[in-house]
Structure 1
Amino acid sequence: MKIRRFILPLASLVPVSALAANSPEVAGVPVDFILFGLTLLGVALFHSHTLLVAASGAIVISVYKIAFTGFKTGDGFSGFTAHLGHEWVMIANLLCLLMGFAILSRHFEKSHVPVILPKYLPSDWKGGFVLLVLVFVLSGFLDNIAAALIGGAMAHQLFRGKVHIGYLAALVAAANAGGAGSVVGDTTTTMMWIAGVSPVRVMPAYLAAGAALLIIGFIGAKQQHRYSPILRHAHQYVRVDWSRIAIVAIMLMAAISTNVLVNMNYPEKADHFPFIGVALWVAILLTMGIRRHDWEVVPEAFKGAIFLLSLVLCASMMPVESLPKPSWQTAFGLGFISSVFDNIPLTALAIKQGGYDWAVLAYAVGFGGSMVWFGSSAGVALSNMYPEARSVSRWLRQGWHVIVAYVVGFAVMIGVLGWHPEVPESHQAATETVKTD
């Protein structure tokens, strides 16, 4: 009964309570989702062993489905291999992009732009506000983890190492908000992009993200100014390394232009080869002579990518044929769920089901993770820099404005733009293939 009490309230917000009728159940809950829920719970509880937990969950779920339920693609091990054959392009693209973006982020950090930007900040509370806006903007074309860490490093210098927990929450929220409307700013939006969702369909998330930024920016900056005012004249003169900026631009253009060209001219081939990821790595190899790439970041990025891909694989094996119809209420609930469970598998489930307004979903799962320190990768990364942030009670008590901002931003988006669901191209193609078969 304890498992059921845990899973069923979750299912009221996230559409994971319904499955095929013949799926084994325990206390009325399908075993597939119990295993998935336990994996997510393990990730939330054991922060030092997330890779082991995620990989173990993927193995256990795979073995269970091979032995008992089978896959859409068939039963047993042959069905499993066929399932991997169907999912390998998305997995390969994500692996290439996550590792490539780690190199891209390091080039941006070493370009000296993050060091120069703070010297243009106002000297009162508005300086803290503008810093949050800068993090928001950076996250639009950098990974939100990198944007949060850059903001955290600048804040450490500007505020003499004394950073308020409420401001740390605002930094994480600004990074997640900035990535919500960009397909290169967050792993969740990158997943939508790979699945065939147009970048234009995700961009309206900035309406909600912008409204939320005003709230967290004003309140968070005021909190920080009272706690430790900004330090004046904290910056020495440095020069921007434009060669590194050029590398960042080349890498981004390679990935974006390839995705546009493939989907415009060869949409039927988009699901058969990881064009985006390969294009990014071709750009990395071609720019090796301009500046040395920091290959040292690749092993750690690889471990992080395997963690995320393990969760994506788990989500891909969940049967979603009988799931409730997506709605803005469901998307709203997903935001709260993403504050305690990783948003990657939640997004993978939503993409597999289809029928969401992708901008609304991007904001919900992206910004929603900011409400608790371990709800997003950006929060976990920043807490390594500021260990005092690893307190749920302090985060909620001092970063309460993030929750308010999430609700207000969501209401603004639904009120102004409404709910416009759309099925991604890859989902449509897969559905048509199933119907044909």
Structure 2
Amino acid sequence: MHETLIHDFTHTWVGYLVLLVFVVGYYFIATEEKFEINKAKPALFIGTFSFMLIGIYFAVNGLDPTPLHHEMQKLILEIAEIFFFLFVAMTYIESLIERGVFDALKYRLISRGYSYKKLFWITGTLAFWISPVADNLTTALILSTVLYTIDKHNTNFLVPGAINIVVAANAGGAWSPFGDITTLMAWTAGKGEFVDFLALFPASIIGWLLTAWLLSLFVPKGEPHFDALTTPKTEIKTGGMTIVYLGILTITIAVFGHIFLHFPAMWGMMFGLAILQLYTFYHKRKHKEHINIFVNMAKVENDTLLFFFGILSAVGALYFLGWLMYVTKLYEIIGPTYGNIGVGFISAIVDNVPVMAAILKANPPMGADEWMLVTLTAGIGGSMISFGSAAGVGVMGRMRGVYTFGSHMKYAWTVVLGYFLSIAIWYVQFELLGIY
């Protein structure tokens, strides 16, 4: 973690104005269905406008802009890591779609007569077990694509299924040191050993299972329409499975490159993109068929990427002005346990990465048990709101118009109940039994 020089501008006109801009922008993001405005537009505006206001404040008052420039450079680096990671993951997914991988998977699932409920549990279970290795964002993107491919029109199936995938991916990532950005931050900051994070497994899986069970009650009966006579069998095009393996290799390089070489995860992802590009050249020479990766890149949801840029910039502005430091005041007022529980709700509203960064910088005196609790709550708390986590934002982009803020909030209570059950499991295991 790099220390950043933070001043307290919260009680200046720019502090209040940027906070107001964030609140108003957040309102339009949350009500994108009502105003029919893509969430990327208000997010990008508040992110860029906030720093314009800060720049004006510095210029008017003749302040040294060096701390501001340093923060902006650091923020650009943080955004780039997520931006390019997501860009490569989406490119791989679009390439798999073009090769018919998801259509073939859809055919195999629905041709077996699986019901909507069974498909709901299959996708959620896969999300929980893949995310500790592949990270929650990539996992959610892949499985939401599978879900959407199965039935693009049955929202009663798609919305609970999408929430289930987001919650499962975030819960699965919470007990792995590299399953989520926040767990990775806590691990690299030395707040727990590798096995300490694995001890969060019971709290993660039991909390998710409760939410999944409650959501499954709303999944419709029956199964997706399938007629063997009119539905042609879908086969994966040449090279499709090779791209699947290259995708797994890319994620592996990204994870282990970060652990052992201390590279940003996006560097391994970009290297994997380079390998994919070289493979398509080889494929064209061998099979006389051109897989145009640049065309697949053009299909990437740019609004999702821009939303990330905007919201992380906006939160970065709040952090620079000093607003996020009030998060750490929770610990002084109500103690570490209740403070850590509150962090989960804050991370659902404000991105969990800068929230965790603020807590690590403040470094409140806590034992390994409490650091594991804040890792758990910051990791899974974002599931309570659709865009409270990277996984949620990715799924909103993939299932645009279906999985939205409004559709998520109808079932948010199921996520909240699972959240509190996870905390209860943590308390029994870590505090009462001391098993960690």
Same structural fold, with TM-score higher than 0.5 when normalized by the shorter chain: yes
**CA distance in structure 2 between the aligned counterparts of 1:66 and 1:208, rounded to whole angstroms:** 50
- Structure 1 unaligned regions, length at least 5: 1-18, 264-273, 420-437
Q: Give the share of equivalent positions with the same residue, in percent.
A: 18
Offset at residue 362 of structure 1 (A): 3.9
For 2:34, the equivalent position in structure 1 comes to none
Which of the residues 105, 109, 114 maps onto 1:118?
109
Distance of aligned partners of 1:112 and 1:336 in 2 relative to their CA distance in 1, 3 Å threshold: same
Contact 1:121 1:127 in 2 (8 A): no
Q: What are the equivalent positions in structure 2 for 1:189-268 lying under 5 Å apart?
A: 189=183, 200=194, 202-224=197-219, 227-231=220-224, 236=233, 238-239=235-236, 241-263=240-262
**Match in the other structure for 2:35:** none
TM-superposed CA distance for 1:46, in Å, is: 1.7
Q: 2 CA distance for matches of 1:166 and 1:275?
A: 33
Q: Which residue number in structure 1 is paired with residue 354 of structure 2?
A: 345
Q: Provide the residue aligned with 1:368 in structure 2.
A: 381
CA offset at residue 375 of structure 1? Answer: 3.6
Alpha-carbon separation, structure 2, partners of 1:131 and 1:337: 28
Please give the alpha-carbon distance, in whole angstroms, between the structure 1 residues aligned to 2:392 and 2:75.
29
Please state how far the C-alpha of 1:215 moved relative to its aligned partner: 0.9
Q: 1:403 aligns with which of 416, 419, 430?
A: 416
Aligned residue type for 1:131: T
Matching residue of 1:128: 120
* Contact persistence 1:108–1:245 (CA under 8 A): yes
CA distance in 2, matches of 1:280, 1:76: 37
Work out the CA distance in 2 between the residues paired with 1:233 and 1:198: 50
Match of 1:59 among 44, 52, 59: 52
Q: Aligned partners of 2:269, 2:241: CA distance in 1, in Å? A: 20
Partners of 1:118 and 1:131 within 8 A in 2: no
- Is the Cα–Cα contact under 8 Å of residues 181 and 204 in structure 1 kept in the other structure? yes
TM-superposed CA distance for 1:101, in Å, is 3.0
Q: Could you tell me how far apart the structure 2 residues matched to 1:199 and 1:65 are? A: 42
- Who is 1:310 aligned against? 313
Match of 1:428 in 2: none
Letter in 2 for 1:58: F
Q: Is the 8 A contact 1:51 1:303 kept in 2?
A: yes
Kindly provide the amino acid, as one letter, of the partner of residue 255 in structure 1.
Answer: A
| Matching residue of 2:169 | 175
Query: 2-side partners of 1:95 and 1:179: how far apart?
Result: 19
Instruction: Report the Cα offset of residue 162 of structure 1.
Output: 4.1
Determine if contact 2:14/2:53 at 8 Å carries over to the other structure.
no
| Greater mean alpha carbon deviation, residues 333-342 or residues 46-55 | 333-342
Taking the aligned partners of 2:15 and 2:243, their CA distance within structure 1 comes to: 45
Rounded to whole Å, the distance in 1 between the matches of 2:103 and 2:356 is: 31
TM-score (ref. length: structure 1): 0.69
- Tell whether 2:78 aligns with 1:78: no
Query: Is contact 1:139–1:179 with CA below 8 Å preserved after alignment?
Result: yes
Matches within 5 A, 1:143-154: 143=137, 145-147=140-142, 149-150=144-145, 152-154=147-149
Number of aligned pairs?
Answer: 378
State TM-score, norm by structure 2.
0.69
Partner of residue 327 from structure 1, selected from 326, 336, 352: 336
